[in-house]
Amino acid sequence: MYTQCPDCEIAFKVTADVLKQAAGKVRCGSCGNVFNALLYLTEQMPKQPTPKTVGADLSELRPEITNADDGFTSTIIIPEKGAEEKALEDSGDKSQNADESDNNRISIIAGVVALVLILIVQFMHQSREALATIPAFSNTVGQVYRVLGRPVQPSWDITGWRFEITKGNIEDEEALTVYSRLGNNSDGPLPYPLINISLTDRFKEPIGSQILDPNEYLPTNLDPRKLVKPGNTFNAVITIKLATEDATGFKLNVCYRLSDRRLRCAIDDFK
């Protein structure tokens, strides 16, 4: 069967499959005119325009099929897409672009969140000793370090302690008893410190020292495991036996013990 473009009069061979698409509505592969191929169907080859007209716009023709029987080169008729089909294609392209944009946005957000988390973890690790003085950190993140076998030693402000009142008394030349009141002058709570007492002779030279844990100098009504709030004070009673009669004086220092058993004291060169 044949059909003919009513504008340029170019004839085309058609099949039933082509005519079924879009109910016979097609676009001419030569001039681009859209027409109903069913209205121009014929069993005989229609009269063709002059060869000059036929070959004038061959560069713009659709894909062609050569008919070996009659030597006539016919252009395939391409069914015209309807407005709904075009709208669906445009909608699909926009949806795909929107999905790609959403995926890119999600990837960027995920990357930023991951970077922020890495920076937070890095900061927490570098500041773990200072953060360990905060109970919330010590009871959560500090537990993780302990499980890993690397417990964090809190960086307590040992310089925050002050000896406010101190007096000593030698009893029967065999023991020295020191009464002292210590105050927490730091900005945060502090655990009870170790007290280092150094005995001196009449030339102020050290002749012996002793380190006491909180349970050795605190009265029984105080819990050595609790923290001392900023601005609070407590009384310490220190009693040590004198190993020599040369002891005529004493000096006091406060310290915290580190995880490697070393001492970190308020006075570094204390003797």
pLDDT band at 86 (very low <50, low <70, confident <90, very high): low
Mean pLDDT across 190-209: 91
Is the domain covering 158-265 a CATH 1.10.3720.10 domain?
no
Mean pLDDT across 247-270: 88
CATH 2.70.50.60, the chain: domain bounds: 158-265
Q: DSSP letter at 1?
A: -
- List, in sequence order, every beta strand (DSSP E) within the chain: 2-4, 11-13, 25-27, 34-36, 64-66, 73-75, 78-79, 161-171, 175-184, 190-191, 194-200, 206-212, 227-228, 233-241, 249-257, 263-265
pTM: 0.52
Q: What is the pLDDT of residue 40?
A: 85
Q: What is the pLDDT of residue 160?
A: 95
Q: What is the pLDDT of residue 59?
A: 31
Give percent of the chain with pLDDT exceeding 70.
81
pLDDT tens figures, 110-123: 999 999 998 888 88
17, pLDDT greater than 90: no
CA distance 227 to 216: 17
